[in-house]
Structures are given as C-alpha cells and as structure tokens.
Amino acid sequence: MTQTPLRAHDLLWVSETPMAADGAPLPDWAIAACRQGAPVVVRRAPRGSNGAVPVGLRGGARHERCAATVAANAITRVLSPEALATTTASVAPDAPFAALRTLRALAPKLDALGWAWGPTGGAGFALASGLAVLHANSDLDLVLRMPHAPSAAQRDQLVHVLAETECRVDLQIDTGRGGFAWRDWLTSPRQTLLKTDHGPHLVADPWSELA
C-alpha cells in the first residue's frame, strides 16, 4: 500500500494501533481516536530501524497530540494534501467554520499559481475524516510544494493571494528536502528554519542542495 513515497502531511488509515514514539502507553484519547477510524498523519522524523513510519495522532482538543510510529504494512490507505485539494469545491460557501470557508475561497486562486498544494492540519483532517476537530477560531493550515525558489513575481502573487483572508492562514512550503513557514521566510529570507526528517536546521537557502 506504500508503493509511492510517503511525505509529511500525508494522511494514513491503518489496520493496527500505532505505538507511541516514546514507548509509553497511548493516552486514552488516542486509543479512542483509533477506534473511531481516525487517520494518522505522517510527521517529519527518521523511519524506525524496522521501517516503521513516524506519524502523529490527534484528538478533538488542541492539546491532544501524540507522536507515534506505525508499521508500513499496516497502512491501508494514503491521502495526500494535493488529493484533498481537489475536494474543496464540495465545501459549502456557508460552511460553519472560517477555516473551511477560507479554504474554499483560496482554492481557485492557489490552483491558478501552478504549484501543487493542499490543506493540512485541522481542516485537512476534518475534510478527510468527517470528524469534529475544527472550531470557530481554527487557523487554516496549508502545504505548498515548491521545489525551486520563486521568482519575485511569483512571490508577490502568493503574498497577494494570502493578503486578505477570513481566518489566519499558516502556509508551509515543502521544497522536497524539508519544510518551512512561508511567513517566517518572508520576514527573514536569509535565515530560515527548515524542518527535515532529521530535525530542524537554520539555513541561508532552503532550496540549496546543502540544506
């Protein structure tokens, strides 16, 4: 089920209960989420020595987060943020949460920019699972695949698209080597915190082969 490489932010449905990364028992909320059939999300960390996939579990409350691992052969379904992006037209214009309304409004504008992108975080999780994890103050988390540094014109276009939104938008840029916060890069383009499978690194150029 994992013929294509898994990437951070991919949602996975699994046939067995994940194991907490620290070896401790899973919290009760995590066990309940697994029994509900909630997906887990691929996180940035090295694979285990046995090929176990690093994942994150989430519950309905903000503080309910748990780092875990799951066997690769237990994965039954994979859903990428890009695949979720194709479903945004089904979001009602009067959806009950600002994060979903913002997603619907941004989708055609982001599509027009030409980069692959998709919702992550609570909005992506809610769209994929139907579980109630969003609330009135939820931000909209997005990932955008940008393998090469944008031109000044492309940068300005993306800034314009995100300039006026109903809720806060947290955009992560995935370069293929790691991910970073778009807002932080705009503020400090010569010192970027790049999150990789081997930990975060401060880099001068997140697109460099040395990053």
Domain boundary pick from 79, 107, 130: 79
Annotation says 184 is catalytic: no
Catalytic residue, candidates 111, 139, 170, 205: 139
Annotation says 205 is catalytic: no
* 98 in a structural domain: yes
Do 164 and 98 lie in a common domain?
yes
| Pairwise CA distance, residues 85 & 142, whole Å | 10
48 is written with which tokens?
């285990």
Domain boundary pick from 64, 79, 94: 79
The 8-class DSSP code of residue 38 comes to: -
pLDDT at 118: 98
| C-alpha dist (Å) from residue 74 to 19, 57, 107, 210 | 12, 15, 32, 34
Q: Which domain holds residue 94?
A: 81-174
| Pairwise CA distance, residues 85 & 182, whole Å | 19
Do 94 and 58 lie in a common domain?
no
* 39 in a structural domain: yes
* 75 in a structural domain: yes
Closest CA to 166 of 124, 193, 137, 198: 137
- Cβ neighbours around 56 below 10 Å, total: 18
| Pairwise CA distance, residues 181 & 155, whole Å | 14
* SS3 call for 19: strand
Q: How many domains does the chain fold into?
A: 2
Do 20 and 72 lie in a common domain?
yes
Do 167 and 86 lie in a common domain?
yes
Please give the radius of gyration of the chain, using alpha carbons only, rounded to the nearest integer. 17
N-to-C CA span, the chain: 30
Do 65 and 148 lie in a common domain?
no
Asked whether the beta carbons of 172 and 203 are under 8 A apart, the reply is no
* 180 in a structural domain: no
Catalytic residue, candidates 141, 156, 170, 205: 141
Cα 6 to the chain's mean position, in Å? Answer: 12
Do 99 and 165 lie in a common domain?
yes
* 163 in a structural domain: yes
Do 114 and 68 lie in a common domain?
no
DSSP secondary structure letters along 97-149: SHHHHHHHHHHHHHHHH--EEEEEHHHHHHHHH------TT--EEEEEE-SSP
Domain boundary pick from 63, 79, 95: 79
pTM of the model: 0.91
* 17 in a structural domain: yes
The 8-class DSSP code of residue 89 comes to: G
pLDDT tens series, the chain, 211 aa: 555 689 999 999 999 999 998 888 889 989 988 888 899 999 999 888 788 999 999 887 778 899 999 999 999 999 999 999 999 888 888 888 999 999 999 999 999 999 999 999 999 999 998 888 888 889 999 999 999 999 999 999 999 999 989 999 999 999 999 999 999 999 999 999 999 999 999 999 999 866 5
